Amino acid sequence: MADLAILRESPLVHLHERMRAGHDRPVALRETAFLTMASVRVRPGSAAARRIGEVLGGPLPTACGETTAAGGRTALWLGPDEWLVVSSADEPAALTAALHEALGGDPGSIVDVSANRTVLELSGARARAVLEKGCPVDLHPRRFTPGRAVTTTVGPVPVVLWQTAATAYRLLPRSSFADYLARWLLDAMAEYTAPGEP
């Protein structure tokens, strides 16, 4: 049987050349496709939540904007009993199986949502300025710092916005909105990526 993974295309493959064109400028955009993602719903502080934290290598975050990371996996707080686990270290089936086992028979759910979203990475000295054109969150470093992640909008598109470094952000839109968001970001970046611009 053929390996179907080789037939897989990211939702933004048609824009990769346009995204690569600005990588020597003060802001750059790229897609990191096919990361493993799992939706976790469980009662906070429960035995099942603690077991899930053990699988992830750290406790589930407990407040809006918090993330916890270990071993190539990051848990992002989405709601009082909801998290998104993003992994560069696991295959989807292996991660969801491990999380299901940790959940045991307790109330909750673990769902592989890897195909639900893609990841756009916006980085560079002007990354925050680009986001501020269409994001209602206060992104000033006094309020939003590396390791923070929130559900918000960029332009009209709902995203999970995650700051990964001082000048780097990950945006996780649903795959069906990825094209619109990427084009919105490329347009918002244009003043910083034109030849001769600082």
The whole-number pLDDT of residue 21 equals 81
pLDDT in tens, the chain (198 residues): 456 566 678 999 999 999 988 667 899 999 999 999 999 999 999 999 999 999 999 999 999 999 999 999 999 999 999 999 999 999 999 999 999 999 999 999 999 999 999 999 999 999 999 999 999 999 999 999 999 999 999 999 999 999 999 999 999 999 999 999 999 999 999 998 765 554
The whole-number pLDDT of residue 2 equals 53
Report DSSP letters for 128-152, one per residue. Answer: HHHHHTT--S--STTT--TT-EEEE
Gap between the terminal Cα atoms of the chain? 52
What phi and psi values does residue 83 have, to the nearest 5 degrees? Answer: -135, 155
Residue 14 and residue 12: Cα distance in Å, rounded? Answer: 5
The whole-number pLDDT of residue 123 equals 96
Residue 87 and residue 84: Cα distance in Å, rounded? Answer: 10
The whole-number pLDDT of residue 25 equals 83
* CATH for the 36-112 domain, from 1.10.240.10, 3.30.70.1520, 3.10.20.310, 3.40.50.620: 3.30.70.1520
The whole-number pLDDT of residue 1 equals 46
* CATH for the 11-33+118-193 domain, from 3.40.50.720, 3.50.50.60, 3.40.50.150, 3.30.1360.120: 3.30.1360.120
Domain range summary for the chain, segments of one domain joined by +: 11-33+118-193, 36-112
